[in-house]
Chains A and B, each alone.
Chain A
């Protein structure tokens, strides 16, 4: 099986990528067309080990960016790192995955299915021809392509000295905008991102921050859903703090059954997300409360 190739200096080679000081000579593609690589794009990078907060933010931001027409670039790495791709796909948007191994490899295997969906919507790309095995030293090289393709880079969660910070360094070298998602100062999972903010990265508070830099606008917000009284009553306490169902029971005085029903209503409306039994408002949910 042969894969389409775009070569440096030829048409179709992403102009932003050429700004790298060592751009790849050729890029192999799965999916495509190659023109998707030239569209306004943002890299969303998450450390391999991340919290449920990090996973939710990655998915959420990617979904909103993709909904606004931005191509989401990420690394298809193991663990919850696929969240960026999943978020973009959930919005029906386009996303690009950059591999650190041969274009024909599904690595990690667990993401083979995800890679297929990414290729259908956008593209899977690699600088390595078919057959090249994944190896650790290729991943930093992959990160330079992630940073090179994107107009801006968002680091969602990273420990100190995390691989995700390498991507941010490449972006800074290229003079591109770097956003970091603020985390709790007590969480070592956010130590790297909080440090980026101290060094001058823009703290990312909503997708609008990124869209502003790209000169794009968010699609008009959905008309507020026809919410039940119970559901409305929950948005207030949720906007202060992410909470478990039991905490909501005590904050509102409603019983557990009614709260569970109202939370499902909010979840189906895309206003609330749940992870590990803790409910958090989405950006849409915050704008309503």
Chain B
């Protein structure tokens, strides 16, 4: 028997895009050996051992010949374990254990266990979309990833074991069709605003923020409910449209954080990285660029709890995504762009010791420490917060306050206002303009500060159902400007 060649099609992830990769398996006479070429990384290189054990465990035959697997295009770096299944299938096709022409009609992705079982890998939805665009009709994939693949409009072939793949390709096994993922019910998930008593001011600010997609900074002593409120913001945001949901799902899939039970992310995501997070973790990066927290929060909320405790480079790195709505990461190996259109919610104490704003405690921070604390937030970053809410601890008992409205009630007001802000943004009326001019003189208010107030005022008007921004709307928006001692 002379040399034989067979091919399988799979996809490599480049950022959140997929590039088609052809897996060629070549069998020659000679000393038995197995080599993988075509710029595989460590995980991909180790496919050798998994593939060999997997094929044996599936009670198929490991060809005792000289095997070379090439991943083309050879210049593109191949990362991860998703190449296991296509490599195994190409080897099986080259040794004629499965029909090569039938394999060529499918794309394949998945990791193999030593016992031949298939395990899910990140980015299946992206690979599935690329396969569909390339005109392939079916995707061989791990059973758990099948609902995710189905979202891409391709017919997934859900497999539990490599033996099933072999049987399917030989036409001896037909897996059960996959139900297209039904969006789970929209209510009942996430914490509800009804659980928060009092805090009328902060609740109102969150409502404005949700309607106009404004960034919010909550400042107050510990224990006033800043984090508790911030966690309830996604619950009052309008639900994602199907296109938005698919976009978010792609990012979450590539990052490997998609729960298999809920393949479609149809609610605004909520991310809250710890303040020790690195810049690469927050904005994305790594040798083969991976999406960071800002991209995982795309179309949702990024909470930076204890904002001034974050490393300065992390905070500065946020400015570009906040401005552009995407993160461009350049690496020697290639470039990737991740969408990152998120709402930023920051919380902070009013001083490093946390006592300021609490009438029962006395702040012992020196002026130098205070200055250093607020200097952590650069002017440029502070400018991105349209709404700044001071939350002093109440002298009265907050628990006596009546329970607040439920998230659903607030969302019912937010949704039409959000649409008004998008479609027919309220315009500044003459009286509103006069009030704003007076504020610029009296407060003082910078040009950027004026623009911030105007943005917030438009949303306040939209929430009130007005087509014109009236003085009352401007006045309310002015009350959310940052305090002068923060604006150093």
If the complex has contacts A261-B475, A276-B483, are A80 and B204 also in contact, measured as CB distance less than 8 A? no
Closest to A265 in B: B475
Closest to A245 in B: B201
Which residues from chain B contact A133 at a C-beta distance below 8 Å?
none
Q: Which of A7-15, A47-55, A169-177 contacts B (4 or more CB under 8 A)?
A: A47-55
> A257 and B391: CB pair below 8 A?
no
Shortest beta-carbon distance, B376 to chain A, in Å?
16
> B483 and A260: CB pair below 8 A?
no
> A249 and B483: CB pair below 8 A?
no
Which residues from chain B contact A245 at a C-beta distance below 8 Å?
200-201, 479
> B200 and A260: CB pair below 8 A?
no
Which residues from chain B contact A121 at a C-beta distance below 8 Å?
none
Check A79 for interface membership: any CB of B closer than 8 A.
yes
Which residues from chain A contact B363 at a C-beta distance below 8 Å?
51
Which residues from chain B contact A268 at a C-beta distance below 8 Å?
435, 438-439, 442-443
Which residues from chain A contact B394 at a C-beta distance below 8 Å?
244, 246-247
Chain B 327-367, CB-CB to A under 8 Å as 1, else 0, gives 00000000000000000000000100000110000111111
Check B399 for interface membership: any CB of A closer than 8 A.
no
Cα A259 to Cα B396 in complex, Å, equals 18
Check B472 for interface membership: any CB of A closer than 8 A.
yes
A79, A250, A257: the one contacting B401 at CB < 8 Å is A250
Chain A 256-278, CB-CB to B under 8 Å as 1, else 0, gives 11101111110010000011111
Check A21 for interface membership: any CB of B closer than 8 A.
no
B367, B396, B476: the one contacting A250 at CB < 8 Å is B396
Shortest beta-carbon distance, B409 to chain A, in Å?
14
Chain B stretch 361-408: residues in CB contact (< 8 A) with chain A: 362-368, 370-371, 389-392, 394-396, 398, 401
> B476 and A244: CB pair below 8 A?
no
> B390 and A78: CB pair below 8 A?
no
The total of interchain contacts (Cβ-Cβ below 8 angstroms) comes to 97
Shortest beta-carbon distance, B236 to chain A, in Å?
15
Check B478 for interface membership: any CB of A closer than 8 A.
yes
Check B199 for interface membership: any CB of A closer than 8 A.
yes
Check B198 for interface membership: any CB of A closer than 8 A.
yes
Shortest beta-carbon distance, A111 to chain B, in Å?
11
Cα A262 to Cα B442 in complex, Å, equals 16
Check A188 for interface membership: any CB of B closer than 8 A.
yes
> A264 and B476: CB pair below 8 A?
yes
If the complex has contacts A247-B396, A255-B200, are A277 and B442 also in contact, measured as CB distance less than 8 A? no
B356, B371, B460: the one contacting A52 at CB < 8 Å is B356
> B438 and A275: CB pair below 8 A?
no
Which residues from chain A contact B395 at a C-beta distance below 8 Å?
241, 243, 247
Cα A277 to Cα B480 in complex, Å, equals 10
Check A205 for interface membership: any CB of B closer than 8 A.
no
Chain B stretch 450-488: residues in CB contact (< 8 A) with chain A: 460, 471-473, 475-476, 478-480, 483, 485
Cα A51 to Cα B357 in complex, Å, equals 10
Shortest beta-carbon distance, A269 to chain B, in Å?
9
A-side binding surface: helix, strand, loop or mixed? helix
B201, B356, B371, B442: the one contacting A256 at CB < 8 Å is B201
> B390 and A277: CB pair below 8 A?
yes
> A257 and B460: CB pair below 8 A?
yes
B204, B366, B390: the one contacting A276 at CB < 8 Å is B390
Cα A4 to Cα B475 in complex, Å, equals 47
Check B220 for interface membership: any CB of A closer than 8 A.
yes
Which residues from chain B contact A244 at a C-beta distance below 8 Å?
201, 392, 394
If the complex has contacts A49-B367, A110-B371, A189-B362, are A277 and B357 also in contact, measured as CB distance less than 8 A? yes
Cα A274 to Cα B471 in complex, Å, equals 20
B366, B368, B391: the one contacting A277 at CB < 8 Å is B391
- Of residues A48, A268, A277, which shows the largest number of chain B Cβ atoms within 10 Å of its Cβ? A277
> B472 and A246: CB pair below 8 A?
no
Shortest beta-carbon distance, B298 to chain A, in Å?
30
Shortest beta-carbon distance, A239 to chain B, in Å?
16
Cα A263 to Cα B477 in complex, Å, equals 11
Check A199 for interface membership: any CB of B closer than 8 A.
no
Closest to B391 in A: A277
Closest to A266 in B: B475
> A249 and B201: CB pair below 8 A?
yes
Check A187 for interface membership: any CB of B closer than 8 A.
yes
> B200 and A256: CB pair below 8 A?
yes
If the complex has contacts A250-B401, A256-B200, are A276 and B438 also in contact, measured as CB distance less than 8 A? no
A79, A80, A187: the one contacting B362 at CB < 8 Å is A187
Cα A207 to Cα B445 in complex, Å, equals 28
Which residues from chain A contact B364 at a C-beta distance below 8 Å?
49
Shortest beta-carbon distance, B400 to chain A, in Å?
9
Cα A264 to Cα B439 in complex, Å, equals 9
Check B203 for interface membership: any CB of A closer than 8 A.
yes
Which residues from chain B contact A274 at a C-beta distance below 8 Å?
390, 483
> A78 and B367: CB pair below 8 A?
yes
Cα A256 to Cα B365 in complex, Å, equals 31
Cα A243 to Cα B392 in complex, Å, equals 9
> A246 and B201: CB pair below 8 A?
yes
Shortest beta-carbon distance, B262 to chain A, in Å?
35
Which residues from chain A contact B480 at a C-beta distance below 8 Å?
260
If the complex has contacts A110-B371, A268-B439, A268-B442, are A246 and B475 also in contact, measured as CB distance less than 8 A? no
Cα A97 to Cα B198 in complex, Å, equals 45
Shortest beta-carbon distance, A226 to chain B, in Å?
13
Cα A268 to Cα B453 in complex, Å, equals 15
Cα A79 to Cα B351 in complex, Å, equals 14
> A256 and B203: CB pair below 8 A?
yes
Cα A286 to Cα B442 in complex, Å, equals 20
Chain B stretch 92-108: residues in CB contact (< 8 A) with chain A: none
Which residues from chain A contact B390 at a C-beta distance below 8 Å?
274, 276-278
Which residues from chain B contact A189 at a C-beta distance below 8 Å?
362
Which residues from chain A contact B392 at a C-beta distance below 8 Å?
244, 276-278
Cα A250 to Cα B368 in complex, Å, equals 37
21 A-B pairs whose Cβ atoms sit less than 8 Å apart in the complex: A49-B367, A52-B356, A78-B368, A79-B367, A79-B368, A80-B367, A80-B485, A188-B362, A189-B362, A241-B395, A249-B201, A264-B439, A264-B478, A265-B475, A268-B443, A274-B483, A276-B392, A277-B389, A277-B391, A278-B390, A278-B392
Given A246-B200, A264-B476, A276-B483, 10 further pairs, Cβ under 8 A: A49-B367, A52-B356, A80-B485, A244-B394, A247-B395, A249-B200, A261-B473, A277-B357, A277-B390, A277-B392
Residues of B within 8 A of A (CB): 198-201, 203-204, 219-220, 350, 356-357, 362-368, 370-371, 389-392, 394-396, 398, 401, 435, 438-439, 442-443, 460, 471-473, 475-476, 478-480, 483, 485
Please list the 6 inter-chain residue pairs (A to B) with the smallest Cβ-Cβ separation, ordered nearest first. Answer: A277-B390, A79-B367, A261-B475, A260-B479, A264-B475, A256-B204
